[in-house]
Amino acid sequence: MQRIKIDPKKCTGCRQCEMACSLNHKMDTVNPRRARIRIYNKNGHFLPVIAGPFADAACNTKAMIETEFGLVDMCIICRASCPHKTFFFEPDTGIPLKCDFCGTPPNPTCVKVCNTGALELIEVSEDELF
């Protein structure tokens, strides 16, 4: 089974993955707000987050996570498109966005366009996933 591996340490914050994702999902349109991957800037460190499932209500975890980049709000790293944050919603229609892995078999545009190795398509076995 294939998955996208994210290595924030390598990410330069070029946001080319956002651009490519939106270009691939709405015809002839570039708009990072339509992308299913977003890059967060945390004090100059860049954290790529790929949109996961839609949540119709916000969770009440609201935790801070300690990472090597310092304390990061969990809502930032969380992949859900949830009403608490304005990310992963189409700006004009409000439709929640979710990464579709760019088709079957997976052909992720974001991985193809990333030039730094921050995004990588890897093979994992089912056992490793859980």
Partner 1 sequence: MDGWRGQLVRINLTKGSSKIEPISEKILKDYLGGRGLAVRIYTQEVDGDIDPLDKKNKVVIAAGGLCGTATPCASIASIVTKSPVTNTIVCGRMQGYFGTELKFCGLDAIVIEGKAEYPVVIFITDSSVSIRPALQYWGRTTKETQRLIKAELKDRWAARESFIACIGPAGEKGVSLATLVNEDYLVTGGVGIGWVLGAKNLKAIVIKGTQDVTVSNGQKCLQAIFSLKNRFNASPFTREKLPKYGNAFLLDACLKRGVLPINNFKGIAKELNGIDENNIERITHRRACFSCPIGCVRTVREKDREIVGLDYETVASFGYLCGINDLDDISEIRFLCTEFGLDILNTASSIACAMELYEEGALKDMELPFGGKNIISLLKQIGKNKGLGKEVGKGGSIFANSLNRPHIFMGVKGNAIPPFDPRGLWGLGLHMATSNFGAYHLNGLTVIEELFNIHEKVEPFLVEEKPEFVKKIQDMTASLDALGICINALFALKVNNILPIFDFVFGYKIDIEELLLVGERIWNLERFFNLKAGLCQSDDTLPKRLIEEPLNGYTCPLEEMLPIYYKERGWDKEGKPKKETLERLGLCKG
Residue 36 contacts residue 129 (beta carbons within 8 Å):
no
Q: Does 15 bind partner 1 (CB under 8 A)?
A: yes
Helix (H, G, I), strand (E, B), or coil: what is residue 101?
Answer: coil
Q: Does 116 bind partner 1 (CB under 8 A)?
A: yes
Q: Which does 47 bind (CB under 5 to 8 A by kind): ligand SF4, partner 1, none?
A: none
Using the minimum distance from each CB to partner 1, give the nearer residue, 50 or 89.
89
Q: Which of 19, 47, 72, 110 binds partner 1 (CB under 8 A)?
A: 19
Helix (H, G, I), strand (E, B), or coil: what is residue 20?
Answer: helix
Q: Residue 66: enclosing H or E segment and its boundaries?
A: strand 64-67
Q: Would you say the C-alpha torsion 26, 28, 34, 39 has a positive or negative sign? A: positive
Using the minimum distance from each CB to ligand SF4, give the nearer residue, 73 or 101.
101
Smallest distance from partner 1 to CB 12, Å: 4
Using the minimum distance from each CB to ligand SF4, give the nearer residue, 47 or 82.
47
Smallest distance from ligand SF4 to CB 122, Å: 13
Smallest distance from partner 1 to CB 129, Å: 29
Q: Which does 28 bind (CB under 5 to 8 A by kind): ligand SF4, partner 1, none?
A: partner 1
Residue 19 contacts residue 30 (beta carbons within 8 Å):
yes
Structure tokens at 14: 């070029």
Helix (H, G, I), strand (E, B), or coil: what is residue 2?
Answer: strand
